[in-house]
Amino acid sequence: MKKTILTIALAFIWISFAKAVDPAYEAAMQKQIKAMKSIPNLETSQQVTNGFIRISEAKNEEWLPLYYAAYNQIIAAFRFEVDKDQYFNQALDLITKANQIAPENSEITALHGFAIMGKLSVDPASRGQEMSPKAMQLFGKAINLDRENPRAVTLMAQMELGMAQFFGSGPEKACGMARMGLDLFKKEEAKITDSYILPTWGKENAEAVLKSCE
Amino acid sequence: MKTKAILFIYFLLLNGATFGQTVVSGKVLDEKGLGLPGVNVFIKGSYDGASSTIDGIFKFSTSEKDFQIMVFQFLGYKTKELAISLSENTLELPTIILTEEITEMNAVTISAGAMEASDESKSVILRPLDIVTTPSAMGDIMGAFQTLPGTSTVGNDGRLFVRGGDASEVGIYIDGMKVGNAYGTTAGNVPTRTRFNPNLFKGTFFSTGGYSAEYGQALSSALALNTKDLSIRSQGDLSLMTIGGGYSHTLANEKQSITASANYFNLGPYQGLIKQEIDFEAAPNGWDVELAAQKKLGKNGLLKVMARTESGGMSLWQPLPGTDRKVLVDLKNDYSYLQANWRTILKNDWTVFTGISYSKNLDNIAYDSLMVERSNELLHLKGTSIKDFTDQLSAKFGVEHFIHPFSETLVKEGWVRNYKDHESYLFTEWDFYLNKDLVFRGGLRAGTSSVSKENWLDPRFSVAYQLNEKGKLSFAAGSFHQLPIENFRVLNTNLQNSESNHLILNYLFSKEGFTFRAETFYKSYDQLVTFDGLPDNPEELKNEGSGFAKGIDFFFRDRQTFKNTDYWITYSFVDSKRSFNQFQNQVQPSFAPKHNLSIVVKHFIVPLKSQLGASFAYNDGYTFTNPNLDNSEMNSKTKSFQNLSLSWSYLPKPNLIIHLACTNVLGRDNVFGYTFSPKSNSQGIFESIPQGQVAPRFLFLGIFLTLSKDKTANNLNNL
């Protein structure tokens, strides 16, 4: 009897150990996420991406470092004077890897759509036909995977706004979605603690969409 | 007590870790010895590392101990690993040199003769969408290619003519499989169109010479059309046009997709409203049914199947020069095409492709009381495999077999003549990258034909060198063989291959939104078919013709300078002479005008939700033999050809397009040649009839509606 209890207790301890997050990993992630929030130039951006890639190399069962590395490359492509296709392609490679670790993940799926949106923006006239439905489809899938994901909703709102502008139709649909996104961001903010390392970005994007509704 | 001891040991360990840190530093350079910034330098399995600075210098501290692996990683470069030993407080590493990885994205590509239409390609010659939005093309693939360098517009033919070659010298391939009778059959100066809808294809590769050993049986040009991969969504596409209509439905999921479509066209109602120059008894009409399916097989495999059947015809009164008489020409055509192909990536960097295609074309032609039935079949089997040995060396191996039966029947007389050819080919092609800026390609193609009892070998070679970031130089040379057209071979099955040798020098300059291309070429022709008599009744066919074509062409495209505007300008100069068909001397063929100019402009007006397009084509005229002048061949030239076409695409809603287009807006009376009466009249003059256009203008109005859950879908590609 004693033995059984001990075994169970040990098993519990083992499980709790296995489940407990690696503090070194968390610390490393927090450091990079903090650095990511204040990137002044391309060089720093590359440093941050490299940092995330290093974490992903050491901790190859985690999707989050790959996610952030991809996200940071997408942002760099939008912000800096670089070969945009190269950056978006690298982001897509990283997203593919993240997807293998965590398939059917709403955040990764939404980011995938974001990368496609980036590629589309390089040459909308000839890529729009193929890529805009692809991006929309990914955002739709991301929302279906997690209806609370504010980024999936916000990105879809951005896409809707772009298309409304292109076709000269009203932005009502985009605005509705952006408002929904903002509500979800509020909900998310309640969950955020100092050690929170899951994605939180995107509120500004939703606000930007809403600006065009006024 | 116990706890204290443990804490003490723990403290010691912690301290030891802090004191035992090693500072690792060094420098990363590229192959040219320049500092490489942004390189990710780290110790494998740890979080310790840094990025190199602008000079390639890196420095970081680590608490790892003993033997470790250092990794140097940078996008576009080969990752390097280095074994290190961490025992001292500092570790200064020797200079690390990273070599650039040669990838599809950064490596130089051979552009001699080649023009690629894809959305990914950096040097923009043509985009897939351009095929449907070029005003003069009227949605025909060939129409769009006629605005590219090296081509000539022959307005009463409609096919693609490349650099002094006739239309049969262009080999057309779908997914690498040869397409028999890719153009619709036509009669009496009514231009033909490609049978295949541009909507089927995701990209095209068009070569005006010096092409890969993968392609044979084409003296002048290879046009490779690549079908789309999996469809992205389920949708229905409805089209209503002044000349007919159609519906296409697609079902798709992540693993497979299938598209079924049916179309019907009849120019009758249109021609009832707008007067035509040609006296049609029955306006061109036809229907087609098509099925295309794609399925993912395994992780990297893709299976594509396509089947199409169509039937059409027309009937017209053809005037005879020197008489008031007209002859009724009646044409009926049935065509089927089937193909399946499978491509997959295997282990060890092997890519394998296998394909089968079959086409059957049946023409029933009645010329007055003469009735001819022509049947042409082509079965093509092909297998290729590509091996990437390293990022610098890759090889392609292929084997092909064709079964090609052809027969011609005089229906009333019951006379049949036919032949059935078996052709086999082996080819190989090797790409060697000395570095990412210099590539050599060598290829060899061997062929054999059972009917002509002939074996032949075609060596091909090309090289490309990236001069700087934007400019590159390519050179290509090669030997090409092609068996004569079926109508000739059936008359004399001993006819051998015609031969051509190509030399091409190409310069390409491309930067964001801007492309300039200049190409000069020389090609020789030998063993061309010559005969006695006229083309409608050739006799004594022999392989005794020869000739040449030389020239230079320029292309420039700008999508940058003017907002929402995209335009390209092409000028091609061709000097070609050949003895062929009935011509015993070397003459300039009627299908090879010397000066060819083409301008295409597209402008998108956002507030009007409209794209306006204009295209202008010019050449200096087509040669013809005027028996009233003297006895020499090709002694005259028509006036210049000019065609200004305009189009307007209006997108009121994302899923609705209204497209209006008009060719030859100015109504220029273009003439492509003259038909002379075989005998002179009482004044000793050979009377003639000009070979002109079907009508001065062609007006097109179409409404295209896409039905899908995704409201933003539209069928722009169907225009």
Please tell me the distance in Å from A70's CA to the nearest CA on chain B.
13
Evaluate if residue B13 carries a pLDDT over 60: no
Residues of A in contact with B17 (CB under 8 A): none
Cβ neighbours of A137 in B, within 8 Å:
232-233, 710
Its pTM stands at 0.84
Cα(B316)–Cα(B188) distance, integer angstroms: 8
Report the pLDDT averaged over residues B509-523: 92
End-to-end CA distance of chain B: 87
- What is the per-residue pLDDT across B597-614, written as a single tens digit (0 to 9) for each? 999 999 988 888 889 999
Give the mutation candidate from B24, B39, B41, B47 for the A interface (greatest A CB count, under 10 A).
B47
Q: What is the DSSP string of B224-284?
A: EEEE--S-SS-EEEEEEETTEEEEEEEEE-SSEEEEEEEEEEE-HHHHHHS--SSEEEEEE
What are the C-alpha distances in Å from B130 to residues A131, A194, B408, B715? Answer: 17, 53, 39, 14
Using a CB-CB cut-off of 8 Å, the residues of chain A touching B42 are 54, 57
Band of pLDDT at residue B461, cut at 50, 70 and 90:
very high
Question: What number of C-beta contacts closer than 8 Å exist between A and B?
Answer: 83
Structural domains in chain B, CATH included, are 2-97 (2.60.40.10), 114-718 (2.40.170.20)
Tell me the per-residue pLDDT of B559-570, one tens digit each, with 9 for 90 and over: 889 988 999 999
Distance CA B636, CA B329 (A): 28
What CA–CA distance (Å, rounded) separates B100 from B331? Answer: 60
Nearest to B712 among A25, A47, A136 (CB): A136
Chain B residues inside the 8 Å CB shell of A125? 129, 566, 604
Whether the pLDDT of residue B415 is over 90: the answer is: yes
Which range has the worst mean pLDDT, B101-110, B153-162, B463-472?
B101-110
Q: What token pair was written down for B502?
A: 């190509």
Q: Is B72 left (phi over 0), alpha (psi -120 to 50) or beta?
A: beta
Residue to substitute from B59, B64, B75, interface A, most A β-carbons within 10 A: B75
Query: Which has more confidence, A67 or B16?
Result: A67
B49 to chain A, closest Cα gap in Å? 7
Which pLDDT belongs to residue B556? Answer: 94
> Given a cut of 50, is residue B122 above it in pLDDT?
yes
Domain ranges of chain A: 25-103, 109-214
Separation CA B711–CA B688 (nearest Å): 57
Closest CA to B125 of B507, B466, B555: B555
- The verdict on a CB contact (< 8 Å) between A137 and B232 is yes
The CATH T-level fold of domain A109-214 is 1.25.40
Contact assignment for B105 to A89 by CB distance below 8 Å: yes
Chain B partners of A129 at a C-beta cutoff of 8 Å?
129, 716-717
Whether residue B455 has pLDDT greater than 80: yes
Q: How many Å lie between the alpha carbon of A110 and the closest alpha carbon of chain B?
A: 17
ipTM: 0.82
Angle at CA of residue B697, ends B694 and B702, nearest 5°: 105
Helices (H) and strands (E) counted in chain B, each on its own, are 5, 41
Residues of B engaging A, defined by a Cβ cutoff of 8 Å = 37-40, 42, 44-51, 53-54, 71, 73, 75-76, 105, 119, 127-129, 232-233, 566, 604, 606-607, 609, 651, 653-654, 710, 712-713, 716-717
Answer yes or no: do A46 and B51 touch at CB < 8 A: yes
pLDDT value, residue A16: 44
Q: Give the closest residue to B48 by CA, choosing from B21, B75, B27, B26.
A: B21
**Between residues B311 and A21, the one the model is more confident about:** B311
